[in-house]
Amino acid sequence: MPITVTPLDKAVEHFHQGGFVALLDSADREGEADLLQAAQYASGESINFMLTYARGIVTVAMTPQRLRELQIPVLEPQFGTKNMPRFTMPVDYTLAVTTGVSAFDRAATIRALADWDTRPEDFARPGHVFPLAAAEEGLADRAGHTEGAVTLAQLAELRPVVAMCEIMAPDGHMAVGATLQQFLKVHNVPLVTVEQIALAVGVESVGADD
């Protein structure tokens, strides 16, 4: 079953209003979809939805500049693959969390990462929320979910901080093909591709080997 792709302008408007959007990367990278929500709209309910129905790891796509402002370091990769994301030190927003692990605590941390008034000392390290660093030049450097998510937020005129969660099937495998299509239909989630977003910002070639 072919995956139904949403016109980008409709997905951008939905994302701008705080809705979920699924982002599919190319088949020669992962060929999988992440569920996205702008971090400034994150709530306990929306993060719980991600955990319950998307089932993957909840991460937060961020620009390198924002991570430097908050003094959150990128972890040095070891023995990884060429497409692996750039994980940082995980954090908790100490001003609003208890254990840091509940959906509501994680939502508070995610919102705080998108709040320009927060400071480095507001975040305990290590914590339970995993920021991911986008490439310095975004999609021109790397054609990943992280860069696509940050760019989608910019197209939606939102802060470039995005909660993400890989979409898994109920059987524990990644949701692809008909399984992914069913997820999108049941939850009424629009789907866009990294390539759509790249073309919208004038990046005509997104390297599969980045």
Q: Percent of the chain having pLDDT more than 90? A: 85
Whether residue 207 is predicted with pLDDT greater than 60 in this model: the reply is no
Q: Rounded to the nearest 5°, which phi and psi values hold at 125?
A: -135, 130
| Spatial contact of 100 and 106, defined as CB atoms under 8 Å apart | yes
**Could you identify the residue written with the tokens 């989608």?**
152
Among 3.40.50.300, 3.40.50.720, 3.90.870.10, 3.30.70.141, name the CATH number for the domain at 8-200. Answer: 3.90.870.10
Report the 10 Å Cβ neighbour count for 17: 10
3-state SS string for 172-190: CCECCHHHHHHHHHHHCCC
pLDDT tens, residue by residue, 169-198 = 999 999 999 999 999 999 999 999 999 999
Name the region of 18 (left: φ>0; alpha: ψ -120 to 50; beta: rest). left
Domain ranges of the chain: 8-200
| Spatial contact of 106 and 58, defined as CB atoms under 8 Å apart | yes
Position 93 scores a pLDDT of 98
Position 209 scores a pLDDT of 38
Q: Percent of the chain having pLDDT more than 70? A: 94
Position 81 scores a pLDDT of 76
Report the 10 Å Cβ neighbour count for 13: 13
Q: Is the dihedral of CA 144, 146, 149, 155 positive or negative?
A: negative
More confident residue, 69 or 210: 69
Q: What is the DSSP string of 139-165?
A: GGT--SHHHHHHHHHHHTTS-SEEEEE
Instruction: Count Cα atoms within 13 angstroms, Cβ side, for 29.
Output: 22
| Spatial contact of 76 and 135, defined as CB atoms under 8 Å apart | no
pLDDT tens, residue by residue, 104-138 = 999 999 999 999 999 999 999 999 999 999 999 99
pTM: 0.93
Position 164 scores a pLDDT of 98
What confidence tier does 84 reach under pLDDT thresholds 50, 70, 90?
confident
